[in-house]
Structure 1
Amino acid sequence: MKKRNSVRMIACVMASLGVVSASVQAAVPEVAEPVKISFINSSDSDFIAAVYGQALKQAGYEVKYVTVDSAAQYTAVQTGDIDATLGAWQTTGVEMTKAALASGKVTNYGPTGVKVTEGWWFPEYLTQSCPGLPSWEALKQPKCVEALATAGTAPKGRFVDAPADWGSRSDERIGQFGLPLTLVNSGSPAALLATFQGAIDRKQPILGWMYTPNWFTEKHPGSFVQFPDSRLEVDVLKLGNKGAFARIPVAEKILRNLSLDKEAVASAMDQIDNEGSSPEEEADTWISAHQDQVQGWAK
């Protein structure tokens, strides 16, 4: 953490001297009002959004981060309540993305460069209670169901789901495959990870929603359950409101060219979730170390 603080201090000093701001060679902003970018209270998505926002600030734009539900961002970018989202995951969000684009008010600015996997995840040791994993059929075994059962779900097993606004459709999957599981929603991404962490600390059987890239899955061996429709390593897209970006072509160019990788996201998540950092701080740190790349986004 000491090294990270040193890097962040250098970034702040450079910014105060005008060095960092020179990394994005952009024209004077075309409008005075701020560019509105969605935050969804999930450190992975919010870091990606903050990299874009902080890059715009260094180009001279005003920026406003607007906190919305994960599902609500797709409607908000249509209505103009936000100008851009950089968290359109093509897993749970694929149908909502299609609807936003079909409205005619939203432009797809391509992938963020980050490949994600989202779905049902279990720690490696669960295979002792559920032999046959990662096949979904292993979850039907009485021994497996009994191991996953809790006082609140017995005789069914517990499935720890994502926050409700993520639209995981885990309830539909439970019904479709006839799985003897009871779904329990998490109140937030942090609560989801805390539930998993507590179970792993006690070596308690647990099954639930998970996503990568993520510092948590880097630290804890595990796998995703394999269903017939499982999809691995899919894109996260950048969506923008057509009317807004028609007025800010330089900001549009930066959005179109922005690209990150999953290693950067996982590292930033670790700092945000475990070290008390913020998406904006981690974005500034990343930008200070990638001056040439950020400068290229505006060209």
Structure 2
Amino acid sequence: MSYKHMIMKTLAAAALAALSVPAAAEPETRSPIKLFFVGASDSDFINAVYGEVIKEYGYRVRYVRSDFSAHFLAVENGDIDITLGAWQTIPEMTEAALATGKVKNFGPTGVKVVEGWWYTNELVQYCPGLPDWTAFKNPDCIKALASADTAPLGRYVDAPADWASDSADFIKKEGLQIANVNSGSAAALVTELKAAVDQKKPFMGWGYEPHWVINDTLGSYVQRPGFRPVNEVLKLGNIEATNKIPNAVHILEKFVLSREEVAAAMDRVDNGGLSVEDAAREWMAANEAVWKAWLPAD
């Protein structure tokens, strides 16, 4: 760990030590509440804030790592009790989970998100017609996106495979001369996005917000069928499990964050060396009145 990262973790620890927390309540269960982690700092931070708050209330918590698409089934089966990571950019997965009668929607997290094909400003000069997706029918556009490993095809850096992107299907359906290259992880995707922005090069990849790299001054999203610029992130829970923890459900229903808070926390995790749990506790130290208002009244 670098000296900078050590200092940041020390400051986070000092902030936590200053927290004035209520006496731990007597929870309805001593079994850990199983929460969803996907390995991406945005979604994991949201889940960690909820997890660290209910820990302060007296619950035990276990963070369960799962693929995004698989975690809906995990909530249905009770392998995960609660998720605050049901992105509505793919609403069909949430709808299918709710239709089983085993999963309940506890409302939005408050975090407005967007994801889709994101391109840097430098690509526009080669692709007249952007942001409309038909610009990728232009050979000059494809040439600008080509790389040594994909030429003569253009290179598109997709989300990790488990994020259930429809990019490959769309490229095939429309006959676009683009090679769909899946990222190995969220971190790998972010590395490519940041490198393209820093180098000011023509680039297209799976973008998502909130994020500390992406903003509308550096690039834009491709307008293609199904793209929606504003989407909710919902809180879902296994009905059988959540029926046993009414106080945790009370906190879940009150829980709300902003996209700006998530973006700031992502920066602290991705660039500051904090774990998502540390970032959540740091947020709690700075927003004590906010999360205490989520707690059940004595």
**Range class of TM-score, shorter chain:** over 0.9
What is the match of residue 293 of structure 2? 296
* Pairwise CA distance, 1:199: 3.1
Mean alpha-carbon deviation: is it higher for 233-242 or for 122-131? 122-131
What is the match of residue 67 of structure 1? 65
Question: 2:273, 2:24 → 1: CA distance?
Answer: 32
What is the match of residue 98 of structure 1? 95
Matches within 5 A, 1:201-280: 201-218=198-215, 221-280=218-277
2:105 is paired with a residue whose SS is strand
* Pairwise CA distance, 1:174: 1.1
Answering whether residue 43 of structure 2 is matched by residue 45 of structure 1, we say yes
Contact kept in structure 2, 1:84 and 1:240, CA below 8 Å: yes
* Pairwise CA distance, 1:33: 0.4
What is the match of residue 86 of structure 2? 88
What is the match of residue 58 of structure 1? 56
* Pairwise CA distance, 1:201: 3.5
Question: 1:242, 1:285 → 2: CA distance?
Answer: 31
Mean alpha-carbon deviation: is it higher for 255-264 or for 288-297? 288-297
1:172 is paired with a residue whose SS is helix
* Pairwise CA distance, 1:42: 0.3
What is the match of residue 75 of structure 2? 77
Question: 2:198, 2:290 → 1: CA distance?
Answer: 40
Q: Could you report, residue by residue, the CA deviation over 1:232-287 in whole angstroms, capped at 9, with x for unpaired residues?
A: 11100001011111111000111111000000000000011111111111111111
Q: TM-score, normalised by structure 2?
A: 0.93
Q: Could you report, residue by residue, the CA deviation over 1:80-116 in whole angstroms, capped at 9, with x for unpaired residues?
A: 1110111100013x11111111111111001000000
2:171 is aligned, of 167, 174, 180, to 174
Q: TM-score, normalised by structure 1?
A: 0.92
Question: 2:224, 2:282 → 1: CA distance?
Answer: 39
Question: 1:219, 1:193 → 2: CA distance?
Answer: 16
Q: Could you report, residue by residue, the CA deviation over 1:127-167 in whole angstroms, capped at 9, with x for unpaired residues?
A: 12112211111111110001111222222111110000000
What is the match of residue 16 of structure 2? 12
What is the match of residue 145 of structure 1? 142
Mean alpha-carbon deviation: is it higher for 36-45 or for 26-35? 26-35
**How big is the alpha-carbon RMSD for the aligned residues of Structure 1 and Structure 2?**
1.9
Can you give the 5+ residue segments of structure 2 that lack an aligned partner in the other structure? none
Can you give the 5+ residue segments of structure 1 that lack an aligned partner in the other structure? none
Alpha carbons of 1:26 and 1:110: their partners in 2 closer, same or farther (altered >3 Å)?
A: farther
Contact kept in structure 1, 2:156 and 2:204, CA below 8 Å: yes
Question: 1:62, 1:194 → 2: CA distance?
Answer: 34
Question: 2:108, 2:146 → 1: CA distance?
Answer: 39
* Pairwise CA distance, 1:79: 0.7
Amino acid at match of 2:171: I
Question: 2:244, 2:233 → 1: CA distance?
Answer: 25
Q: Could you report, residue by residue, the CA deviation over 1:176-210 in whole angstroms, capped at 9, with x for unpaired residues?
A: 33322110100001101112223333333211111
Alpha carbons of 1:263 and 1:6: their partners in 2 closer, same or farther (altered >3 Å)?
A: farther
